[in-house]
Structure 1
Amino acid sequence: MSAFVGSILIWQSSGRRLVRNFGYYKVNLRTNRIGDGVMFIVLLKYVKPLSVVDDFIQEHVDFLDKHYKKGDFIFSGRRDPRIGGVILVNSNDENAVKEIIKEDPFYKNQVADYELIKFSPTKYDDKFSPFINS
């Protein structure tokens, strides 16, 4: 069983700086690459008008597709109202997640700010267990 340490990270694309760090959780995930790690929720918040977001949307979708094929992402989608997006990342490595984010056209073009939330799914539906259990 994993121990609670807790974490919320805010990483802004404009300043590219860590604002808060409260530690981490550990949980055993489904791949050997992940091991005794955590999951990350990445919250994107648009900092440019939607017309600029739309200019980069296809490149962003290609970026998402690449990381789904690599097994990095579990789900993603738009926030409602359309102020950004959400990505669940299948990784326990904060630096690896930050490197993935740096590939996002929204990041490269300073279209969105990113908030990383480390967490341990301690209660979940059985349908989600393939992502939790080795």
Structure 2
Amino acid sequence: MFILELTYTVPLERIEALLPAHIAWLEQHYATGAFLASGRKVPRDGGVIIAVAESRSAIEALAATDPFAQAGATEYRITEFIPTTTGPDLAAHRQTLPA
């Protein structure tokens, strides 16, 4: 599982202009099951996406398709973690630690 932390690199006016394309991109990846949750950071200087993918390289490639990233409007920080404990809604994504 991955946490994708976005940090805006342009003024909010530019973010607002790109937002419809970014939302469409999010919806596309919710539909595939890759994204589990997302939203704005507080204060509004970026956002967070919780995602699943086969590998770090796959999630990096996915992040590169974000209209924000393609426009140079955000930087991504990607953190991989092993979700050994989850709430019931995320039970299908629980993992065990490697031996």
Q: TM-score scaled by structure 1? A: 0.67
**Offset at residue 131 of structure 1 (A):** 2.6
- Name the structure 1 match of 2:54: 92
State the one-letter code of the partner of 2:6: L
Q: 1:55 aligns with which of 3, 13, 17?
A: 17
State the one-letter code of the partner of 2:93: F
**Take 2:34 and 2:90, find their aligned partners in 1: how far apart are those partners?**
16
**Take 1:128 and 1:100, find their aligned partners in 2: how far apart are those partners?**
21
Q: 1:75 aligns with which of 37, 40, 56?
A: 37
Larger radius of gyration: 1
Q: 1:120 aligns with which of 82, 88, 91?
A: 82
Q: 1:105 aligns with which of 67, 77, 94?
A: 67
**Offset at residue 129 of structure 1 (A):** 1.1
Name structure 1 gaps, 5 residues minimum: 1-38
State the one-letter code of the partner of 1:121: P
User: What is the total number of aligned residue pairs between the two structures?
Assistant: 95
Aligned with 2:75: secondary structure? strand
**Offset at residue 124 of structure 1 (A):** 2.5
RMSD between aligned residues: 1.3
**Offset at residue 83 of structure 1 (A):** 0.7
Contact 2:85–2:94 (CA under 8 A) maintained in structure 1: no
**Take 1:114 and 1:125, find their aligned partners in 2: how far apart are those partners?**
26
Matched, 1:129 2:91: yes
Aligned with 1:114: secondary structure? strand
Provide closer, same or farther for how the CA distance between residues 128 and 117 of structure 1 changes in structure 2, counting only shifts above 3 A. Answer: same
Q: TM-score scaled by structure 2? A: 0.89
Name structure 2 gaps, 5 residues minimum: none
**Offset at residue 128 of structure 1 (A):** 2.5
